[in-house]
Amino acid sequence: MRVLLRLNDGSDFEGAKRQISAEDDVRLLYVGSEPLRVREYFSEVLPPERIVAVKDVGVKGLAEYAASLMNPVSGGDTSTADTKKIAVVSPLPPVNSGIAGYTAELAEGLVKFYDVDLITVQDTSDVTSVPAGCTVRSVSYFKKNYGRYDRVLYQMGNSGHHAHMLKLMRTCPGAVVLHDFYLGHLMAWMQYMELASDYLTEAVLFSHGIGGLRYLAENGHEKTMWHLPANREIFSGSVGVLVHSEYARKLAERYYGGEYSDRVRVVPQVHRESEKTCRESARKTLGLSGSERIVCSFGHIGSVKDSVRLARVFRNISGMRLIFVGGHTDPAYEKLMNETIEGTDIVVTGNVSDETYADYLKAADMAVQLRTANRGETSRAVLDCMANGLPVIINADGAMAEIPSDCVKVLDGNCTDELLAAAITELMDDKDKMEKLSANGRTYIKKCSPLSAGRRVYEELESLYSEDCETHFDRFLEDGAEDIRKLDDKGLERLTKAIIHCRSVIKRKYIYVDISVVYRTDHRTGIQRVVRSVLRGLATGRVYGHFIMPVYIADAGGRKCYRKAPEYAAKLITEFGGKPYMDELLELEDSGDIIEPCQGDIFLGVDFDAVKVYEAHREGLFAGWRERGAGVHFVVYDLLPLRFPQYFPHYAESVHADWLYAIGMSAHSLICISAAVADELKEWLKTNIPECRARVGWFHLGADIDASMPQRGLPDGAEKFIAECADTATFLMVGTVEPRKGHYQAVKAFEVLLDGGADARLVVAGRFGWLADETVRAIENSRYYNKKIFWLKNAADDYLERLYSASACLLAASYGEGFGLPLIEAAQKGLAVIARDIPVFREVAGGNAFFFSEATASGLAQRMADWLRLYEADKHPKSGAMGYLTWDESTAKLKELIVKY
């Protein structure tokens, strides 16, 4: 069997060489930095015509040029003698699966366009209903002869009948008809049957990232199977996917983006038109009265089909009889149904034979087919009704909403019981309407005949194969590998660009989160806490869209680049029940790999590494990302070094200005952490970079420390200290000790307060910052130091959280802030807030804080004394009504801002 090995600079060359030695027919494609070395290395085991090694120029290329070089196969004319051979992999009759019957019917149409082999895991001698012109083959035959097939089409459903296909698709890829968009039950079945011990967990992580893994950990297997598709492997490992509704195609776009949905095609569900037969004969066979007005509901009984609700509605309808033609799958729901129909003439037939099912379709006057949770599948039962000319009422849920309204009676997806009852009664009494629906339904089904459906599948399958880049390249290797050596440098470069483009067509989308400072040295400052929180919130948030990759800025060949920093994401994988090896599913295994962004990727500069970002801008790093189609966004925490240069080192003002210039000229958007900062930034850009075109937005930070990947650890004596804080009116200051934070004024004011006889204590929780010598002397030389005034230089996050709970108030004395995260952390704990009257604190706290504007120690001491009197009388402003976000909510807003750009 022919094997194509695709290698890059991070590949295992020794392993590839061993594989080449073990295979009969291997071609090798290498796109990387050292093509000459690779050609020489593999020339020991492969002839030169089987090696294509080209330099990765690192830019998006032209797929059309690749197609012209690779001589793609066109749709073709089926009238020629050169009929293509197709393998259709599916369960087949008599297997109890709707897909088995579907495949048998579809094959009747496909034989008009292909030489058809039906591939099944069943004993081929047991297969029934094989269409004329088709040959049934075993899976082992298919694997041995895969290279002989021009086309491969898998019929994929959400049951154990399809378990073997997932592994088979990895070695024998093809296109897929995806009958059920959600495949969680299949993955769970494989896990429970121990075909793969962690299959559901792996499928959820691979499909939905760490957010999906978190959902699984918090909600369990059953809910996850219904809520998450877990099917990304089908899209990433196939030539393309065929579905039966636009709704299913949009689900692919919702969960995986345009790169995948562009390779999804909608084809009709195949269905034969039923012959018109005698209604009276069918009723006689079923023992039903000829005069009864019969309403049927077909298929399995369950909550998805709103069966109990339909039965409840019929308790109040007279002159009609309701029959459920199908069986139960859930014992609890069966009990509920039995209680609902007790004392009525409503019938549940249980599972019936195909012949009996067909008799009910002929015997009924009307059908009602409801859905409550469409998961991308098309209702076979509705098509059964239409094919038999049976008028049917449906609700507009998911794919069912796409059926023309002149073929069925369509109700609102959430119609009331009263409207449903009225619709049933009105339609049964309107014979003209019934006849029109019957005739139009039969006309619609003609478009779903085996020949019509087979033609559409053929057309879409040929289109997918003609557009599939891997197919082009495989054919190029088979038919024209010698020609690549004749290309000049320009032609080789254009081919390389095309290969890179092809390689990126099905690449997953990433949000690359810059955690450079946290990665090198987590100083545990406010910004670093935000970085950890944003990373965790994005990685574990909504379960569709982009995957999250932490990165850090580095040097490579004398120029700036970003490299993977997967350790942080790996921590989250294990936190939510994954296993260490599963980092491979998120392509996290190659720590330090240089990032090569693609169309649709997003860079988010959430950490603050001003000098390196400025250098990267000057070298054109971010311009290169934009040229490749990636979004570039930066979080702006504040403009404080520009507004208060006296509170910062002498270099901070120019460094910050350079950083703002770099990101202003590099980014698609600049996202501030408050509206106040956004207003300041807009004014600064207008004055200093009028040519800046970056959009300015804002969001608020989250408050839950537990979601910030917190630092843990209480020092000796912490419990005693916390208890003492709880027993005394404790004023807590949180933040790095530096002049801007107002610690000096606070310490001096507190000394005045204590001199006046107040029973209170001040706790400063923050690391030593810049220009803080005067403040430190004020703290450590105070006569109240370690008696009433305390400085905790290295309080971990869990220690800080305990202090929030034990204190009487938060004292926020900063002269300037970007947001004021401690205010909402305090509010979350119900801790009162005393804050300097600055715009951002007003924005965050509203009227839920005690504000001061005094600039002197004595003035602030008086305001603290005023607050203590209010506090003792329980008349102080409470923080409970202060609005705040969780980090999940905060990062969801941030993601919305960067993704919608």
The predicted-structure confidence for 334-391, as pLDDT tens digits, reads as follows: 999 999 999 999 999 999 998 999 999 999 999 999 988 777 788 889 999 999 999 9
* Three-state SS at 9: coil
Question: Do 433 and 310 share a domain, yes or no?
Answer: yes
Pick from 50, 69, 88: which residue ends a domain? 69
Q: What is the pLDDT of residue 193?
A: 75
Do residues 417 and 485 both lie within one domain? no
Measured in degrees and rounded to the nearest 5, phi and psi for residue 620 equal 85, 15
In a domain, 261, yes or no: no
Beta strands in 41-94 (DSSP E): 51-55, 85-89
Give the span between the Cα atoms of 664 and 642, in whole angstroms: 15
Output Rg (C-alpha) for the chain, integer angstroms: 34
Same domain, 632 and 657: yes
**Domain-located, residue 841:** yes
* Whether residues 838 and 734 fall in one domain: yes
Going by their DSSP bridges, the two strands 559-564 and 547-556 should be labelled as antiparallel
Can you name the residues that pair with 295 across neighbouring β-strands? 322, 366
Structural domain ending residue among the three candidates 35, 69, 103: 69
- CA-wise closest residue to 743 among 766, 711, 715: 766
Cα(568)–Cα(536) distance, rounded to whole angstroms? Answer: 9
Q: Which of 37, 69, 101 is the last residue of a domain?
A: 69
Can you give the pLDDT at residue 552? 93
pTM reported for the whole predicted model: 0.72
With a pLDDT cut of 70, the percent of the chain lying above it is: 84
Q: Where residue 579 sits, what CATH number does that domain have?
A: 3.40.50
pLDDT at 707: 53
Query: 350 and 482: one domain?
Result: no
For residue 8, what pLDDT band results from cuts at 50, 70 and 90? Answer: low
d(C-alpha 94, C-alpha 654), whole Å: 77
pLDDT-derived band at 9, boundaries 50, 70, 90: low
List, in order, residues 6 or more apart from 840 with CB less than 8 Å away.
674, 676, 677, 816, 817, 818, 819, 820
Residue 732: inside a domain:
yes
Look-up of token digits 């002929």: 362
C-alpha–C-alpha distance, residues 121 and 222, integer Å: 28
Q: Would you say residue 297 lies in a domain?
A: yes
Residues 564, 593 contacting (CB under 8 angstroms): yes
In a domain, 891, yes or no: no
State how far the Cα of 580 lies from the Cα of 338, in Å rounded to an integer.
48
Residues 495 and 558 both lie in one domain = no
Domain of 288, CATH number, reads 3.40.50.2000
pLDDT of residue 554: 93
- Note whether 488 and 584 are same-domain residues: no
**Edge-to-edge strand ranges of the sheet holding 695-698:** 559-564, 547-556, 510-514, 602-605, 631-636, 669-672, 695-698
Q: Is residue 503 packed enough to be buried (19+ CB in 10 Å), middle (13-18) or exposed (0-12)?
A: buried
**Is 895 a member of any domain?**
no
Same domain, 653 and 514: yes
Which band of pLDDT confidence, cut at 50, 70 and 90, is reported for residue 901?
Answer: low
Classify residue 443 by burial, with Cβ atoms within 10 Å: 0-12, 13-18, 19+.
Answer: middle
Would you mind telling me the total number of residues written for the chain in this entry? 901
If phi > 0 it is left, if psi is from -120 to 50 it is alpha, else beta; for residue 282 that is alpha
Residue 705, pLDDT > 80, answer no
Residues 440 and 477 in one domain: no
The strand order across the sheet containing 25-32 reads 2-7, 25-32, 51-55
Mean pLDDT of the 566-595 span: 66
Give yes or no for residue 59 having a pLDDT over 50. Answer: no
Same domain as 518, residue 491: no
Phi, psi of 487 (to 5 degrees): -70, 140
Residue 239 DSSP symbol: S
Residue 559 shares a structural domain with residue 580: yes
Domain check: are 514 and 494 in the same one?
no
Q: What are phi and psi of 706, to 5 degrees?
A: -60, -25
653 or 15, greater pLDDT: 653
Separation CA 729–CA 670 (nearest Å): 41
* Domains in the chain, number: 5
Whether 154 is in a domain gets the answer no
The amino acid occupying position 408 is V
468-472, 482-486, 728-732, 824-828: which is most confident? 728-732
CA geometry: angle at 838 spanning 834 and 840, to 5°? 95
Q: Mean pLDDT, to the nearest integer, of 868-876?
A: 95
Average pLDDT over residues 572-576: 73
> Which domain does 485 fall in, by range?
469-502
Q: Say if 388 falls within a structural domain.
A: yes
Q: pLDDT per residue over 470-510, tens digit each?
A: 554 554 444 444 455 455 555 555 555 445 444 434 567 88
Nearest alpha-carbon partner for 241 in 182, 176, 179: 176
pLDDT for 11 equals 66
